[in-house]
Amino acid sequence: MTFLISRALADPNADVRGRMINAGIMIIDRHGRDNVSLLFPIFENYLNKKASDEEKYDLVREGVVIFTGALAKHLAKDDPKVHAVVEKLLDVLNTPSEAVQRAVSSCLSPLMPSKQDDAAALVSRLLDQLMKSEKYGERRGAAFGLAGVVKGFGLSSLKKYGVVAVLREGLADRNSAKSREGALLAFECLCEYLGRLFEPYVIQMLPLLLVSFSDQVIAVREAAECAARAMMSQLSAQGVKLVLPSLLKGLEDKAWRTKQSSVQLLGAMAYCAPQQLSQCLPKIVPKLTEVLTDTHPKVQSAGQTALQQVGSVIKNPEISSLVPTLLMGLTDPNDYTKYSLDILLQTTFINSIDAPSLALLVPIVHRGLRERSADTKKKAAQIVGNMCSLVTEPKDMIPYIGLLLPEVKKVLVDPIPEVRSVAARAIGSLIRGMGEENFPDLVPWLFDTLKSDNSNVERSGAAQGLSEVLAALGTEYFENVLPDIIRNCSHQKASVRDGYLTLFKYFPRSLGVQFQNYLQLVLPAILDGLADENESVRDAALGAGHVLVEHYATTSLPLLLPAVEDGIFNDNWRIRQSSVELLGDLLFKVAGTSGKALLEGGSDDEGASTEAHGRAIIEVLGRDKRNEVLAALYMVRTDVSITVRQAALHVWKTIVANTPKTLKEIMPVLMNTLITSLASASSERRQVAGRALGELVRKLGERVLPLIIPILSQGLKDPDASRRQGVCIGLSEVMASAGKSQLLSFMDELIPTIRTALCDSVPEVRESAGLAFSTLYKSAGMQAIDEIVPTLLHALEDDETSDTALDGLKQILSVRTTAVLPHILPKLVHRPLSAFNAHALGALAEVAGPGLNYHLGTILPALLSAMGGNDVGVQPLAKEAAETAVLVIDEEGIEPLISELLKGVADSEASIRRSSSYLIGYFFKNSKLYLVDEAPNMISTLIILLSDTDSATVAVAWEALSMVVNSVPKEVLPSYIKLVRDAVSSARDKERRKKKGGPVVIPGFSLPKALQPLLPIFLQGLISGSAELREQAALGLGELIEVTSEQSLKQFVIPITGPLIRIIGDRFPWQVKSAILSTLSIMIRKGGIALKPFLPQLQTTFIKCMQDNTRTVRSSAALALGKLSALSSRVDPLVSDLLSSLQASDSGVREAILTALKGVVKHAGKSVSPATRTRIYTLLKDLIHHDDDQVRMFASSILGVISQYMEESELSDLLQELLDLSSSSNWADRHGAVLTLSSLLRHNPSTIFMSPECPSILLRLKSSLKDEKFPLRETSTKALGRLLLYQAQSDPLNSAALLDVLSSVLSALRDDSSEVRRRALSAIKGASKANPSVIMTHLSLIGPALAECLKDSSTPVRLAAERCALHSFQLTKGTENVQAAQKYITGLDARRIAKFPEHSDDSDESEDEQASS
């Protein structure tokens, strides 16, 4: 110690003194406790000693005081020496030496427990000195002393003695710079001595500290900086978190001084502890960088200084030397970012990078990543990748991930591939260096981008990044995601498929050899991608394929080659093209050539290869495999797709030196490949193989034909049917490609080969042989037919070979119909047709198709005959063949077919008519041709056939008619109405001629469902046609009903009647209504009781129509109503209605009502009650002398009908009344009476004849013959005629009475009125027909009169006389009657009249009767 005091403390060098003081304190701390008594005297001695050089000795004294202080802590608390030592120490504090002041401060702290009583005074003294002392050294000493004292008394003393409050006041004292500086000095020392214990007060003092940075007094500002540095160096992590927000907020303040202060404080943070430093720098440096562009120069300058402070704490020597450059990069990023990045990339790093280095680097790199220049982005990404490997602690990088990763992601999807590549590697490095846990969203983001619909570039970047990331995450992770990757390669969205396939392009680069293990899993996905319909997906797959070949051609050849070979034969041309390209890559790799040679122009045989390349390929692949590969390649040189052809040709030329020589070497393998391909299920593959074979023959003809044809002929013996089929296709191609002259020398081999193939047991082989025959025919012409067809026809006759031979013929026909058909058909249509020939015709027809158009005249007659023949075995086969024949024709065949069928329908043989009808129906039902134009003719023909004599033909014709009508669109049907009516009329006439009288029913309309085919035609016309068409439809329906049997009509009554009633109720012209009424009348007559459901509707309809404006409609409705009443059980209400209407109606309607009333009485008279009958009688008795002729006629007619139901007395009164009336002076009364008598004689002759009034009636009628009014004379003649008829039928023996009446009638023949004469002739004819013998007895009277009438000037009279003569003379009953007649009439007339049909006047007679009744 003596040495230290005497020598060291007096040393002129302050640093030496400081260190010596520290050494002394350490000695005292260690040994002082044991040597207090020894050392104290020594120290006191030195303190009291006087020295010659007092100034120098002061330095010693200061040191001794410090030593005394250090020793004093070993004294007891209550030792009085402690107080003296403290005083001395406080004096030494004023020494303007920081080392001394620090030493004193350290000594004071342990002595404070002894000064508890004087604490307040001591603190107050020091604070006073701190704030008010004039000298800086004293104020600074006071600050150190205060820090030591507070540390000694404990943290609570700060509050207890108001230290912080005094300091705050001092800092806020704007009048005294010394106070402000002193407070800051105390703040610095307290931070330093109390460390983190003072942190809570630091946060409170921070705003004042910020203000001090911008103090006007420089000493205060410097003190603030020192205080900040001390503060920052002592801050804990929590303290940093508390301080930083307020400082960063300060940067946003508008006042530049506050900004400047905040910047300076932020700069001071460079002095934080290393751990805190790495935490705060990522937030500070970017903010400081922003400050560099502040508008205020002082703020900018503060920013520069702050950044330099950060740079000054960098420990990495390489970065430390670059700090000026980096600061330039931060200060002026536009000009220096690229330069800084270049410098960084050129620097070789030996030491690791610390947190401050990162803080300066990252903003520059971040800026680089955001630059537009691709080069700058690439360099920045490169540095990001390298950072991880250079950082001391990877966690130092964590704060920057949020800043850098988004930019790296953007660079990863940059349009420039090289930039993307660097970014991908950077991401891989980050994951590898820092672990996946720090990038939780990166892998999902990469997968999402891979699936995005955005650009290809983004997906490519994501794929590259993902490949690097998966490589970094290890094998296990990769194996987990690989199945999902492969599955997404066939995702439904093209963009997803594209993205995932692109991954395989980058895996070989990122995973290297390791990826080879997964090739088997990956290859199928790539091959599927090659066939994708989306171009970008195909490109991605092809790119991946190229990379795989590039990387693994030599190591994984056995895996890659089979997959590529399969692809060459794929059905999809895109896969073929890609596979050829990949095969090229493989072979180029194996041969050691680039494959980039330009092969423009020159022959296909001129290659760019050398023999050495060929040997290299054989060496690696082996000769067999090489031959297979080249055979496949040669085949796709003629692919259907031009792109595949070009690719294959390029590869072939690049690896084959001598084409002819190589082909010769690979010929067996090539032929095998071609034959297999020719038999492939894929049509494209067959086509390609065929073209290849054709090209082979075309180019090398003479050289290869002798090799090829034997191979093909031999191939037909192959047990595999598909190979045999391939041979046939091959033959076809060879013959098509070879010249005619070349082929002629091989005919002996070709023809037997094709003949054998045509009879092969497998249909597919025969089909291909047919095509080969077609090609052969082109070259060999008739020789081919002459040598092959007869053999096949001969084989038809052999049961064993007939089926295959027939199929062979079919195959030939399918390709050469026109040439072969004329040879085959005559052989097959020999009658009678055998079962096999019938079958053969069907089979050939099926193949010949439209070629049969012009041969229908040959085959149809034979088939029609066989269809209706007696051979049960042949019938179904002939039928099947005929069905086939009619369906295979095209539009041109329709006319010949229809012509043949119409011939058949008109044939004399029923069986042929039947077969033809069946075929017509079948043709119309099943043919796909447009036949609407042919339908009318067929419908007409088939309707006429419904009256055929053969019932089976009728049934078949009816079926055929249904099918023909069904084949016609609904809207066309109404146009057939007229045609159908004409056809029905023809059929009716045909039937009438067969029956010779009586009601006519067409047989076809007596079948069940008889009207079904034709009904739609009429109903469609009725419902939707024009007015004229509706009229035609209604009339046609009536005609149809007339010729339909009542039994068959039953089920159609309702479907027909309903629409008729509906249409008649609408507003249509009278012609339509009249036609419908006429049809309804026929329906009432034929349908009978089946109409019961419609009775009310019909009755209403008819009554309504009776009010119509048109007479025809009224009279038709009246007639129909009359007929309808026969079906009704209650007639009285109807009669009452009619009688009521009669009294209130006008003349037109009255006539209709009377007609209806007559009909009702006539048809349902029995159902009329006596009371109603009496009412009718009463009303009509008054009407017989009505002024209107028609009314009188109707009234008399009805009275005649009703007389059948009258009592005898009632009738007698009526007769008496009529007799009185007949002699009236009024001619209308006389006319009415005679009309009524005539009607009574018609409807009730027996009663009248037996009545006592009969002689009077006869006299009355005779006198009426002489009446001046001709209607009276005509009516009397008619009445006498009826009387004559009754007598001839019932009382022929009473010749006197008969002669009396006959004489009266004959007298009428001399009347002036031709109508009277005609009526008299009619009366005689009627009697002659009823009882010829009676009239014959009176020929002497009748003959001359008839002879006169035959010469009458009136034509109707002459015609009536002819008919009367026919029956009176019985001219049709023998020549003797004709001879006898010549007594009265000329022989010419007699012979002419004798030729008349006997019943030709039946209809006239009935019409006459109806009109007059």
In the predicted model, is pLDDT for residue 21 greater than 70? Answer: yes
End-to-end CA distance of the chain: 180
Residue ranges with strand state E in 560-696: none
Q: What is the dihedral of CA 605, 609, 610, 615, to 10 degrees?
A: -100
Averaged pLDDT for residues 281-304: 73
Spell out the long-range contacts of 599-605 with Cβ–Cβ below 8 A and sequence spacing 24 or more: 599/649, 599/650, 599/653, 599/654, 604/637, 604/649, 604/652, 604/653, 604/659, 604/699, 605/658, 605/659, 605/660, 605/699
Please report, rounded to a whole number, the percentage of residues in the chain having pLDDT higher than 90.
0
Of residues 1155, 1102, 1156, 1094, the one with CA closest to residue 1127 = 1094
In the predicted model, is pLDDT for residue 1396 greater than 50? Answer: yes
Please report the pLDDT score of residue 614 as a whole number.
75
Residue reference for tokens 């024709």: 889
Please report the pLDDT score of residue 286 as a whole number.
73
Instruction: Tell me how far apart the alpha carbons of residues 857 and 875 are, in angstroms, rounded to a whole number.
Output: 19
Instruction: Tell me how far apart the alpha carbons of residues 37 and 45 are, in angstroms, rounded to a whole number.
Output: 13
In the predicted model, is pLDDT for residue 1207 greater than 60? Answer: yes
Instruction: Tell me how far apart the alpha carbons of residues 1229 and 1220 are, in angstroms, rounded to a whole number.
Output: 10
CA 833 to chain centre: 53
Cα–Cα distances (Å) from 138 to 12, 96, 98, 108, 1215, in that order, read 22, 7, 11, 16, 178
pLDDT band of residue 269 (cuts 50, 70, 90) is: low
Averaged pLDDT for residues 656-672: 82
pLDDT band of residue 1101 (cuts 50, 70, 90) is: confident
The string of DSSP letters for 1003-1032 reads GGGGSTTTTTTTHHHHHHHHHHS-HHHHHH
- Tokens standing for residue 1303: 């004489």
In the three-class reduction of DSSP (H, G, I as helix; E, B as strand; rest coil), residue 391 is classed as: strand
Sign of CA dihedral 571, 573, 574, 575: positive
pLDDT digits (tens, 9 = 90+) for 1081-1093: 777 777 677 667 7
Instruction: Tell me how far apart the alpha carbons of residues 1197 and 1194 are, in angstroms, rounded to a whole number.
Output: 5
Residue reference for tokens 């508890």: 116
In the three-class reduction of DSSP (H, G, I as helix; E, B as strand; rest coil), residue 947 is classed as: coil
CB 340 within 8 A of CB 348: no
In the three-class reduction of DSSP (H, G, I as helix; E, B as strand; rest coil), residue 587 is classed as: helix
Instruction: Tell me how far apart the alpha carbons of residues 620 and 192 are, in angstroms, rounded to a whole number.
Output: 80
Around Cβ 1184, how many Cβ atoms within 10 Å? 27
The string of DSSP letters for 1067-1130 reads ---HHHHHHHHHHHHHHHHHHGGGGGGGHHHHHHHHHHHTT-S-HHHHHHHHHHHHHHGGG-S-
In the predicted model, is pLDDT for residue 1408 greater than 50? Answer: no
Query: Exposure string (b/e) for 1056-1090, b if CB count within 10 Å is 16 or more?
Result: bbebbbebbeeebebbbbbbbbbbbbbbbebbeeb
Please report the pLDDT score of residue 1020 as a whole number.
82
Averaged pLDDT for residues 1115-1131: 74
Q: What is the dihedral of CA 216, 219, 222, 224, to 10 degrees?
A: -70
pLDDT digits (tens, 9 = 90+) for 105-149: 777 767 677 677 777 777 777 777 777 777 877 777 888 787 777
pLDDT band of residue 313 (cuts 50, 70, 90) is: low
What are the start-end ranges of the H helices in 413-455? 417-434, 442-451
Please report the pLDDT score of residue 599 as a whole number.
45
pLDDT band of residue 659 (cuts 50, 70, 90) is: confident
Cα–Cα distances (Å) from 597 to 103, 194, 616, 660, 1081, in that order, read 88, 82, 18, 21, 100
Please report the pLDDT score of residue 883 as a whole number.
83
Query: Exposure string (b/e) for 785-794, b if CB count within 10 Å is 16 or more?
Result: bebbbebbbe
Give helix 1027-1042 / helix 1053-1064 axis angle, nearest 10°: 150
The string of DSSP letters for 882-933 reads HHHHHHH--HHHHHHHHHHHHHHHT-SSHHHHHHHHHHHHHHHHH--S--TT
pLDDT digits (tens, 9 = 90+) for 1373-1390: 888 888 888 888 887 877
pLDDT digits (tens, 9 = 90+) for 779-824: 666 666 666 666 666 666 666 666 676 666 666 666 566 666 666 6
Instruction: Tell me how far apart the alpha carbons of residues 122 and 82 are, in angstroms, rounded to a whole number.
Output: 14
Angle at 663 (CA atoms; ends 681, 735), nearest 5 degrees: 55
Among 397-406, 668-677, 787-796, top mean pLDDT goes to: 668-677
Cα–Cα distances (Å) from 332 to 289, 304, 325, 336, 342, in that order, read 10, 12, 10, 6, 15
Averaged pLDDT for residues 870-879: 81
pLDDT digits (tens, 9 = 90+) for 198-243: 667 776 666 766 677 777 778 877 787 787 777 777 666 666 666 7
Residue of 314 and 937 predicted with greater confidence: 937
In the three-class reduction of DSSP (H, G, I as helix; E, B as strand; rest coil), residue 353 is classed as: strand
Q: What is the dihedral of CA 722, 724, 727, 732, to 10 degrees?
A: -90
